[in-house]
Amino acid sequence: MSASRIAYTAFVAFLSVVATLLVVSLVSEDDAYVPPEKKGPNEGRAVFTLDEVREHDHAESCWKVIDGVVYDVTDYIPRHPSDEDAFLRWCGREATQAWSGHSARAESMLRDYRIGALAGHEPKEEPPAETEPAISTETLTGAAEALTRRQGSVLLSLGSGEYLDGVYRGNFIDRGHIQVSIQFRLEDGKLHDLGYRHLYYRDVDYLKLDDDEPLQAVMRQHEQILSQLEGQPLTDIFRLYRPAEVVDDIDGYSGATLRGAKILHAIRDGLNRGVYSW
């Protein structure tokens, strides 16, 4: 086949694929977002008792409980690198102990098999942010003091670079309002091009403030947070638990309302959603 024929054939095939995608996208009426997680017979069930878990103690259906979370690892059995008997021994049981020592990579793979929580280990709702006192260095615990980038990796339950490079968008929503919308780009585990798409609190749209508004100081602090994160490793977002480290002025008029945790959570929300665009 001549080069011209190959180029032409590839071009026609290419146009067909792109056109098909466009047409399917246009004619499909269902705009609903389909989550990428696996849907099994237990879809919608979030909480299981240990008795229910015990029924799945064999190779045909193998559930394990690790740190209060129930995983259906049946599909993973053929892919498990080590001895199959050792792997099956923990089916239908509390397997936290057996799991300990696995890599961050294994941790991230495990998440794909999560089907729910063990009764008594349901995730607790976080208290509303507004009721928390303003964050100051005094309120931080000793553990937070010792936060390093390494521990940040643990908090993300990932090694650096585990998130795909790309542009992410995330929100912090509370009390019926989107309070923070953020966009950022990840490259080699580093944050770039951070920007607010929306910043709102108590009926004030911070992105539409006039220059002379007193609340501009808050806006400036928020901007400082982003400029501090620019080019930094992803794990640096945990510094936002201590915003005094990342902005100039936490006292005075604005100090009471600056909550780095909102931005931190908006970023984590973006990460959870996955890459918005490449």
Give the footprint of other proteins on this chain (CB under 8 A): 3-4, 6-8, 10-11, 13-14, 17-18, 21-22, 24-25, 28, 31, 33-34, 36, 105, 161, 164-167, 187-188, 274-275, 277-278
Both structure tokens of 256: 């009471």
CB nearer to other proteins: pick between 8 and 253: 8
Q: What minimum distance in Å lies between the beta carbon of 259 and other proteins?
A: 28
DSSP-based three-state secondary structure for 48: strand
C-beta atoms surrounding 258 within 10 Å: 23
Indicate if the alpha-carbon torsion angle 45, 46, 52, 54 is positive or negative: positive
Cα(7)–Cα(46) distance, integer angstroms: 52
CB nearer to other proteins: pick between 13 and 86: 13
CB nearer to other proteins: pick between 47 and 164: 164
Q: Locate tokens 């005075």: which residue?
A: 252
Cα(150)–Cα(225) distance, integer angstroms: 20
CB nearer to other proteins: pick between 68 and 189: 189
Q: What minimum distance in Å lies between the beta carbon of 7 and other proteins?
A: 5
Q: What minimum distance in Å lies between the beta carbon of 14 and other proteins?
A: 4
Residue whose C-alpha is closest to residue 128's, from 172, 181, 183:
172
Q: What minimum distance in Å lies between the beta carbon of 3 and other proteins?
A: 5
